[in-house]
Structure 1
Amino acid sequence: MLLPGILTVILLAELVASSDGNFTFNGFSGANLTLNGLAAITSEGLLRLTNDTQQVIGHAFYPFQLPFGKPPSFSTTFVFAIKPSFPHTSGHGIAFALSPSTELRGSLPSQHLGLFTDTSSARDHIVAVELDTVKNVEFKDINNNHVGIDVNGLVSVNSTPAAYFDTKEGVVKELQLISGEPMQVWVDYSGEDMRFDVAVAPLSESKPKTPLVSSRINLSSVISDKMYVGFSSSTGAATGSHYILGWSFSLDGDAPPLDLTVLPRLPGSPKKKSVVLAISLPVAAVLLLVVATVIVVVFLRRRRKLAELLEDWEHEFGPHRFHYKDLYRATKGFDDETLLGAGGFGRVYRGVLSKSKIEIAVKKISHESRQGMREFISEIVSMGRLRHRNLVQLLGYCRRRGELLLVYDYMANGSLDRFLFDGNQPPLNWSQRFHIIKGVAAGLLYLHEGWEQVVIHRDIKAGNVLLDSELNGKLGDFGLARLYDHGTNSQTTHIVGTLGYLAPELSRTGKATTHTDVYAFGAFLLEVASGKRPLQLDAPGLVDFVLECWKMSTILEARDPKLGDEYAAKEMELVLQLGLLCSHPDPMARPSMKQVVQILEGDASLPTVSADGMISCLSARQYDESFDHLVLSYPSSSAATHVLRSSPFFSGTR
């Protein structure tokens, strides 16, 4: 007779498989699965796809290809749970997927869910049901808590906010996918009537009679004769653990029901109360009271030191607000050994959040005036929702006394200008520079046209381009940025930025626009290609220098001497001429960022502009004396030394 403990193990590892593609896992102890990335089977029998590590992927597939018929049909059910590292903020979700391979080469983490690349197409033959917990505008997500059907891409064929029909109360109730509670999913596809149904419910509910998501889709050309089935998940800047507790699948009829009574417990789930616990609990309560009294005394003493400014209106910003004490601990009390850079804007510190182990950069800005602070914080929080691989993620903020602290993702290689102008850094080769240029252009295009509002950066320069560990360029420092709705005009009239990158029309209008951003991007292009700053002591301006080289048919002589002869001549000439075009004194003559990206990617030709024509336009431009007075009196440009010596990490001023 088998012991009860052995019976439990056998039940947890139960696998019923047959050649026609039917199987059941009531827990995964001893299960034979193909695991990739961070996916693992825990000692409790849980299938864990990810943990609290940033920017990772987890794959788990049934190890054998299954023979799908023509037309293809299948049914599956599984129990999942997403436990975020922090309440209300999680890594990206889970996807159940059909794939021709268990090795999804080139698949990306974050919003790509570990399933797709940037160039996914119909050739991929991937069908997925996404349980998505982050809203990505680029994939037309409806919200940050939805269920969707994906075919060869992450723009869902159909999606609906996560919910279920409560049979007891007779109402539809919302489900929070990142609640940490286990939930069951049912997926059914009938090839004969091309019906794709998905339903979700808590474990206490049976399978809903009406599916949550339902579509008519012909998958005959997408699902191959033999396919793998399994799960994929990923994390981004925010993290969380993604679990599968049980799973069954069938190619013939409904998937077998799971035995919910033997599924493994999630970490932190309550155990049954014991007699020992019942006796020791009162004693522990008394001890806790004593300890709590001591803690309160210590806490009150430390509270004055770590006091922060918090007003009622800030509660609406929720998870975007960081506690000062967490930032204080992350930066070792803002110790000088964690200092990354300093300037007129304030100081920037490197830190590691103690709970999540996420590396951050904390920028401290003075805010003595409270006027307009609510609007400024609102815009900062709004920009914290920007999601693009070429933007430094703005995670949130904190206020304390006379300081505003902005919290960013930490970039391992610091700012681009260190590699361009710091003799102690190894110079970047041309391939690296061109890759960074295209990345920054893509990020700026997203700000101007790809998000729900138009975002004007207002301080584009090499000092505000950060490099990650793989030298990918990311546009950072949104402390000066402003946003407005598509189709409306910017209301910004306060001129900010850095001398050498400010468009001439600012002297007339005082308004930052997408055209003024393009002007600054033109200065950035010339800066990266030539290795020179837009303005230098005792030297002509960079635009004039490059124009003179172009007029003499020696434009390649404007390149950075540190490159030597190791560069692509056509790309160098393209970047220099495009930089001049973006620096055109007439804002209407400058290309849009969409045109800039098309030109850099080779999808469009550079407009025909002669050197003489550009020189004629530049010689005819008229600067107002008021503009000269303004830039010379502005803190970030009052001294040439400040222009020439920007921060090694974040720079810019308010």
Structure 2
Amino acid sequence: MPNSPIFFTLLLSLFLSASAQQDEFVYIGFSGDADGGGSNMSLNDVAEIENSGILRLTNETSRLIGHAFYPAALRFRNATTGVAFSFSTTFAFAIVPEYPKLGGHGLAFTIAPTKELPGALPSQYLGLMNASDVGNATNHVFAVEFDTVQDFEFDDVNDNHVGVDVNSLVSYPTASAAYYGNDGVKKDLNLKGGYTIQAWVDYDGAEKVLNVTLSPFSTKPSTPLLSFQVDLSPVLLDDMFVGFSASTGLLASTHYLFGWSFKMKGACRSLELSSLPSLPQPKKKNVTLTVAISVTTFVLLIAAAAATAYLFYWIKNADVIEAWELNCGPHRFAYEELKRATEGFRDQQLLGFGGFGKVYKGTLPGSRVEVAVKRVSHESRQGIREFLAEIASVGRLRHRNLVQLRGWCRRRGDLFLVYDYMPNGSLDKFLFRDDSLGQRPRPVLSWPQRFRILRGVASALLYLHEEWEHVVIHRDVKASNVLLDAEFNPRLGDFGLAKLHDHGANPSTTRAVGTLGYLAPELTRTGKATTSSDVYAFGTLVLEVVCGRRPVEPKALPEELVLVDWVWERWTSGRWADVVDHRLGDDYDREEAVVAIKVGLWCSHPSAAARPGTREVVRYLDRGDAAEVPPLAGPPEEYDAGESNGGFDDFVHSYLASSEKISKGSAALGQEASRTCV
């Protein structure tokens, strides 16, 4: 009997049947096992399956990740030839933002080596990658993203697009969300419209063609939204996991999946939207509760005379939200949440302090994310005007070299800003050391680290000056406002003095604000901050990083008092190597050092007209070729002093006259700024 052909035929049939079950499955809702074999979905992070059978990847909480994968790995490539197999999938999803027109990032159909995607970040990374591994060929991640936020970092076309991601989040190709009707006319789709959308992803392994199709209906359009040639063989491994990833950022969206069909080496089975779970509807108002509230209100009005004193006391001490606060997103934290995060604002949690108030380290309840909380008192010099500027500017800025504002809070006379925590503190603590403050020794920054920091800060300024929807003038670029993350990547922070205006318009401020040593000479005369005055401050920062010393050293020799003058003298005499931080020894790139010195001197020129634009600065730092940097216009003493009306000299004398006072007061302020970690 064991040698019977019928017996072997039966065994072969069972084997092929088992293989087919692993290569095809259909979920009509996610409350049970997949039709076609396999157990229910493998969920990570905040993803969960509701009683209705809907798979909810995220909820209305900021900075979350949700992963949902088919539990078993599938064979995506021929182990012998290394050629990727064809596959076909369709799924129904909906994105419901917390606010109707503001999405909280999106979701992505994903093929990855693991179900967990360790190290992935939320927000613009969609729970797929992080800042250090994005773009690496070793990721072996293929995804089709449905994104509802425009991120300049990844060259997104808009805040409502579909894109194909191969080991990176820079999508190619990409297109605005749309579908083709039966008449062949292209029609727009709103990904964050809160309604069900069906998507199809089809890969032809023989022709090496990928098609992505969308529709709000069950019938698949004949014309795909995206179609392009791509060979997935180098991207995919032999065995991969398939599923979905979604994330939220400062704003949140709930990402839903209603059904999913998948098949290897063939066309997947279709989904009928009417047979899938329905999108949750907003809860209806409780009529009984409404009546009860009305009756209670009436009773309270009758008793108003007796309760006046109590109500006055309650209103005075309540966390009142005023009208202007409604337009100052992003996330508004509750005071009690920040109080718990900082352990009651204990002194042990204090990171720094200064003229604006104090900064505390905290851990947000629930998510356990470390943050820095800046507490600004009502009597501080920063005040309500700067506080509003910081919320309005930082809240909507997104760049890898800017400190990310998580949210804010106001309670009576106290104002709070909540930032990402930067574990390595501020740049000035690594450039300078003041033994009188009892600072612990810090490692010497290597030259590659320093040059990367300069390029990162320059990129952030270019984004502020030219690439965002408004021109943002930072007005306080300095070493203590450059924070370093765990990998010593720079983040420009503290927008308390920032000024916004439209592209092509002139800034209206006439208040000369900033920090001594970084103020452009023309500010003492006009008081008008411009992108050029930011460039001047950046030039000072460049020279600080190269030389490892402050812009003005009151205790230095007279000829070395002002950093830019000292560097000019060494540059013109051909002894530029003397200014490079002696702690580096000879361990630095001489070509890059020359580029940095030339750019620093060019940006620090006393004449605003002679300084470069931010885009030029970024270009020369990125290329690192000293020959490409134009010749300098001449040292400060050779330039017409009448143009600046004595502004630069006034600045130096003002600094010297204030140095004794600053040495006491700014020591604490500098300690605060560099320990702020925000």
**TM-score category by the smaller chain?**
0.7 to 0.9
1:450 paired to 2:462:
no
Question: Cα deviations across residues 614-646 of structure 1 (Å, max 9, x unaligned)?
Answer: 652387774447993899499998933245554
* Alignment partner, residue 285 of structure 1: none
Kindly report which structure 2 residues correspond to 1:63-142, keeping only aligned pairs within 5 A, or say none: 63-65=74-76, 75-79=88-92, 92-97=105-110, 110-113=123-126, 114=128, 120=135, 128-139=143-154, 141=156
C-alpha change, 1:629 and 1:218, in structure 2 (3 Å) is: closer
* Alignment partner, residue 294 of structure 1: none
Contact preservation (8 Å) 1:129, 1:147: no
Q: Percent same amino acid at aligned positions?
A: 42
* Alignment partner, residue 200 of structure 2: 187
* Alignment partner, residue 5 of structure 1: none
Q: CA deviation at 1:101?
A: 11
* Alignment partner, residue 442 of structure 2: 426
C-alpha change, 1:72 and 1:514, in structure 2 (3 Å) is: farther
* Alignment partner, residue 571 of structure 1: 592
Opposite residue 638 of structure 2, the aligned amino acid is: S
Q: Could you state the TM-score of these two structures normalised by the residue count of structure 1?
A: 0.73
* Alignment partner, residue 24 of structure 1: 26
Question: Cα deviations across residues 298-348 of structure 1 (Å, max 9, x unaligned)?
Answer: x99996796334212322445433333322332223222222111112211
C-alpha change, 1:232 and 1:573, in structure 2 (3 Å) is: farther
Q: CA deviation at 1:526?
A: 1.2
* Alignment partner, residue 617 of structure 1: 639
Q: Could you state the TM-score of these two structures normalised by the residue count of structure 2?
A: 0.70
Kindly report which structure 2 residues correspond to 1:495-574, keeping only aligned pairs within 5 A, or say none: 495-539=512-556, 540-574=561-595
* Alignment partner, residue 307 of structure 2: none
Task: Give distance in 2, aligned partners of 1:553 and 1:630.
Answer: 26
Opposite residue 631 of structure 2, the aligned amino acid is: V
C-alpha change, 1:103 and 1:590, in structure 2 (3 Å) is: farther
* Alignment partner, residue 399 of structure 1: 410
Opposite residue 443 of structure 1, the aligned amino acid is: A
State which of 346, 350, 374 in structure 1 corresponds to 2:361: 350
* Alignment partner, residue 487 of structure 1: 504
C-alpha change, 1:509 and 1:232, in structure 2 (3 Å) is: farther
Secondary structure of the structure 2 residue equivalent to 1:390: coil
* Alignment partner, residue 591 of structure 1: 612
Contact preservation (8 Å) 1:458, 1:481: yes
Greater Cα offset, 544-553 or 515-524: 544-553
Contact preservation (8 Å) 1:459, 1:652: no
Greater Cα offset, 382-391 or 366-375: 366-375
What stretches of structure 2 of length at least 5 have no aligned partner? 1-16, 182-186, 284-309, 434-438
Secondary structure of the structure 2 residue equivalent to 1:435: helix
1:413 paired to 2:424:
yes
C-alpha change, 1:651 and 1:173, in structure 2 (3 Å) is: same
Secondary structure of the structure 2 residue equivalent to 1:508: helix
Task: Give distance in 1, aligned partners of 2:105 and 2:669.
Answer: 36
* Alignment partner, residue 13 of structure 2: none
Question: Cα deviations across residues 508-551 of structure 1 (Å, max 9, x unaligned)?
Answer: 33211111111101111111222211112133111112222223
1:150 paired to 2:157:
no
Contact preservation (8 Å) 2:470, 2:502: yes
Secondary structure of the structure 2 residue equivalent to 1:495: coil
Q: CA deviation at 1:389?
A: 1.0
C-alpha change, 1:72 and 1:382, in structure 2 (3 Å) is: farther
C-alpha change, 1:32 and 1:121, in structure 2 (3 Å) is: same
Contact preservation (8 Å) 2:481, 2:673: yes
Contact preservation (8 Å) 2:377, 2:383: no
Q: CA deviation at 1:230?
A: 2.9
Contact preservation (8 Å) 1:322, 1:398: yes
Question: Cα deviations across residues 90-148 of structure 1 (Å, max 9, x unaligned)?
Answer: 8642211468999999987642432698875999998743222433244454665x351
Q: CA deviation at 1:151?
A: 5.9
Task: Give distance in 2, aligned partners of 1:127 and 1:454.
Answer: 36
C-alpha change, 1:371 and 1:379, in structure 2 (3 Å) is: closer
Task: Give distance in 1, aligned partners of 2:505 and 2:656.
Answer: 28
1:363 paired to 2:371:
no
Contact preservation (8 Å) 2:92, 2:258: yes
1:255 paired to 2:273:
no
* Alignment partner, residue 242 of structure 2: 230
Question: Cα deviations across residues 211-270 of structure 1 (Å, max 9, x unaligned)?
Answer: 9x9536333x4555995673453647658897767531245345343899899999xx99
Opposite residue 482 of structure 2, the aligned amino acid is: V
Contact preservation (8 Å) 2:107, 2:247: no
Q: CA deviation at 1:450?
A: 1.9
Task: Give distance in 2, aligned partners of 1:335 and 1:352.
Answer: 13
C-alpha change, 1:625 and 1:129, in structure 2 (3 Å) is: closer
How many pairs align? 599
Q: CA deviation at 1:473?
A: 1.0
Task: Give distance in 1, aligned partners of 2:476 and 2:324.
Answer: 29
C-alpha change, 1:34 and 1:208, in structure 2 (3 Å) is: closer
Contact preservation (8 Å) 1:39, 1:60: no
Task: Give distance in 1, aligned partners of 2:66 and 2:620.
Answer: 33
Secondary structure of the structure 2 residue equivalent to 1:255: coil
Contact preservation (8 Å) 2:108, 2:145: yes
Kindly report which structure 2 residues correspond to 1:245-284, keeping only aligned pairs within 5 A, or say none: 246-250=259-263, 251-257=265-271
Secondary structure of the structure 2 residue equivalent to 1:407: strand
* Alignment partner, residue 225 of structure 2: 215
Opposite residue 269 of structure 2, the aligned amino acid is: A
* Alignment partner, residue 478 of structure 1: 495
Secondary structure of the structure 2 residue equivalent to 1:23: strand
C-alpha change, 1:35 and 1:529, in structure 2 (3 Å) is: farther
Opposite residue 628 of structure 1, the aligned amino acid is: D
Contact preservation (8 Å) 1:92, 1:233: no
Secondary structure of the structure 2 residue equivalent to 1:187: strand
Contact preservation (8 Å) 1:163, 1:174: no
Task: Give distance in 2, aligned partners of 1:374 and 1:585.
Answer: 29
Task: Give distance in 2, aligned partners of 1:90 and 1:350.
Answer: 29
Task: Give distance in 2, aligned partners of 1:538 and 1:248.
Answer: 73
* Alignment partner, residue 292 of structure 1: none
Contact preservation (8 Å) 1:519, 1:582: yes
Secondary structure of the structure 2 residue equivalent to 1:218: strand
* Alignment partner, residue 312 of structure 1: 323
Question: Cα deviations across residues 45-67 of structure 1 (Å, max 9, x unaligned)?
Answer: 99897898968795857521168
Secondary structure of the structure 2 residue equivalent to 1:639: helix
Contact preservation (8 Å) 1:76, 1:248: yes
State which of 210, 213, 220 in structure 2 corresponds to 1:198: 213
C-alpha change, 1:544 and 1:188, in structure 2 (3 Å) is: closer
C-alpha change, 1:138 and 1:436, in structure 2 (3 Å) is: closer
Contact preservation (8 Å) 2:473, 2:530: yes
* Alignment partner, residue 273 of structure 1: none
